[in-house]
Structure formats: C-alpha cells, structure tokens
Amino acid sequence: MIKINGNYLKLQASYLFSEIAGRVAAFQKANPEKEMIKLGIGDVTRSLPGACISAFHSAVDEMATDEAFRGYGPEQGYPFLRDKIAEIDFKSRGAEVSSDEIFISDGAKCDTGNFQEIFSTDTKIAIPDPVYPVYLDTNVMAGRTGIFNNGRYENIIYLDSTMENGFLPDLPEQPADLIYLCFPNNPTGVVANKAVLKSWVDYARENRSIILFDAAYEAFITDDNIPHSIYEIEGAREVAVEFRSFSKSAGFTGTRCAFTVVPKDCMAYDTGGNSHSLHALWNRRHSTKFNGVSYPVQRAAEAVYSEEGSRQAKDLVDFYMKNAAIIKEEISNLGYKCAGGDHSPYIWIWGEMDSWDFFDLLLNRAGVVCTPGAGFGACGKGFIRISAFNSLENVKNAMSRIKTTLMK
C-alpha cells in the first residue's frame, strides 16, 4: 500500500493565493456583470521592457538555425548573465559576490521553497509572522514542524512583526539554525536599514546559523541608504544566502527568471561538527534537480542590464511605485493606519476588522481583490495587503470604489 508523506496532512487546506483565486472565481461566476479590479497577488500587469523583448526575439531566432542553436545550457546559468549580475547588482554596490556564486533559476518562489532541503530535519527554523507562505509551508512539508495548533505550527520560532515593533521583529531569544528574512518585506512592505541587518548577521555568526534573505523586491527601494543586498553588511558572506528575481523588477512573472547567491564562505555542519560548503551542496542539488532556464529567457534577463533595458525596467518600477503612493495616500486619508508603499509595491493596512471579512467586504461591495493579512500568519490578523501592480486607471478606480465602501 502506497503511503503519503504525512507532513502534507499538517498543511492548511490550500495555498493562500489559490484560496483567493478560488473565492474570486466563485464570486465572478455568481456576479458575471461585476468588473473586478485585482490588487491581490503581486502579479505585474505591464509588458516586458522593449530591450528584453528584442533580446528574447533574437535568441529565439538563434534557436532556429543549426549553427546558433543551443541544447542544454549550464544548470547554473550562462556566464553572460551571471557575470552581469555579479558586476551590476553586487560589485557596483560594494557587495563582494562572484559570478560562480550565482545560480540562475526559474523563480525565487522555487528557490526559497527548495533551499531548506539541504538542511537536517531537526533544523530549528525562525520565520517572521506575517510571512510569504512558501517559507513556512515548505518546512511543514519537510517535517520540521509539529501540528497546526491555535493558528500556529508547533516547533517553529515565530518572529512577530507587529505595529508595535514597526514590523521589524526582535532577534530570537532561543538559538535558531535557519532564519528567513525578507526585505523589502512581503507582505508588510517595510525595509531594514544597515544596523538592523547587521544585528541579524552578527546573531547568525554567533550561533552558526544561516539566513535565507529574500530580496525579490530590492528594486523598489527608493532611499539609497537602505541596503539592497545583505552582502552590503560585513560578515554576511559567511552566513547568508540571497534570493533575487526578475519577476517584479522587470515584469518576468510569466517569463520566469530569478537567481540565488550562495557565497563560497557559507558553511553548514554535519553531526560530527565538521563544516561543509553550502555552495557545493546547493550546486549538487541544483544540478541534480534542475536543467537550467531556457536560453532565450536568460538573454531577455541579460538585457535588463543594458543601458536601455535598465532604464526601461526602472520606468516599470517607478510606474508601480506611483500607484503605491496613490494607494497609501487614499487609504491614510480614509483614516486607516498603514505601512509599506514607500520602498515596496505592497501597502499593509490595519483594517480594524477580521481580515477575511475585510477581504469579502472589498470583494462584494467594491469589486476589489486584496489579500487578507491573516493568510500570511497570526500576526497578520486584522490586516489586509493591497498590491500596486495594476494600471493607473484601475488603481484610481479601485481607490474610488474603496472610498465609497469605507468612508468613515
């Protein structure tokens, strides 16, 4: 008799964004005349930068000739892309990262979800609350948690991010082996300055822990004093793995391209206390389970680093950030407390009612889809998240509908 991995039975019914999509589809079916505005999942709405499209087309043309055709590429990604990333994303900001420490992949979701595989089952995990659900769910699947009890999984160190601490959690009181951090944060939209990141790096060095640092939203930082990479912090190369994505910074959600940085200085330990290179272990895992991102997609991603491509990608980010400013202003004018939106496409709003009730209210009365904060964890209860990824017209329209619905 085939048996399932019982840890899957500990998972909550469905993945947050699938649950929302299901509720929206049901509502749309019952109300086909209602025009919905989706400010829920952070999915981009504008086309790829022109420079990326040209590079994409040329690479597809290359695949049409026997001379230029490419079969399997290097699992870790083509040097033409890894070199640009190392130079432009890291070295130019004073962060020491070499090309061969970069692993190109098809998404930060997959990488943040998969990375935990190389650590032991008894690894003590620290996870922010609220949090991007992938970090938690993948550890549940791997058997690192107990059951879900009173809104939380047993055996997890939750890092509470609340209004009181400015959504910047304190260092854990007990030793944590693996720490997930995300800045600019999803879902709260807050950023961490150098001092905050340094305290985490120091903690990890003292405890021989590893930080999994999700920087998928770094392109939205508008203040140059805020670090874009954890490697801008001294010592981080020994204790941090960083995840980046072209999804939100250059509109690649449907095209799929991201990368993970695993510095060669990062070590993890076997039961005898001997150190092993995380880079070597991840390389082993990556080359066993992944065959690389397609050549045309990597050429399209490379174009983000051209003069024209970087200007076009920045225009996209600026466009969404103008939407974020409108949302933040309108919501604040309605008398609601909110965070985020200054260095992030997400606005985190204290809704003064149950998150799912607020979600239903906006769905049913305003025809606007948001994300209920409770879906990101117990500390998200009472909040909703509104995303700035949509057209200006839709954002303005959504705000006017929300105003009519919520006017105090």
Task: Provide the binding-site residues for ligand MLT, judged by CB under 6 A.
Answer: 41-43, 109, 132, 186
User: 195: buried, middle or exposed (CB in 10 Å: 19+, 13-18, 0-12)?
Assistant: exposed
d(CA 321, CA 189): 12
CB of 372 to ligand MLT, least distance (A): 12
Under 8 Å between Cβ of 355 and 382 = yes
CB of 41 to ligand MLT, least distance (A): 4
Of the pair 209, 371, the CB lying nearest ligand MLT is at 371
Q: What crossing angle do the helices spanning 295-302 and 50-62 adopt, rounded to 10°?
A: 150
With CA atoms as reference, report the closest residue to 34 among 393, 260, 364: 364
Of the pair 49, 373, the CB lying nearest ligand MLT is at 373
d(CA 367, CA 213): 35
CB of 369 to ligand MLT, least distance (A): 11
Of the pair 24, 41, the CB lying nearest ligand MLT is at 41
d(CA 205, CA 189): 27
Of the pair 133, 263, the CB lying nearest ligand MLT is at 133
Q: Which residue is nearest to ligand MLT (CB)?
A: 42
CB of 130 to ligand MLT, least distance (A): 11
CB of 186 to ligand MLT, least distance (A): 5
- The DSSP H or E segment spanning 339 is strand 338-340
Of the pair 109, 237, the CB lying nearest ligand MLT is at 109
Of the pair 209, 247, the CB lying nearest ligand MLT is at 247
CB of 227 to ligand MLT, least distance (A): 21
d(CA 365, CA 402): 8
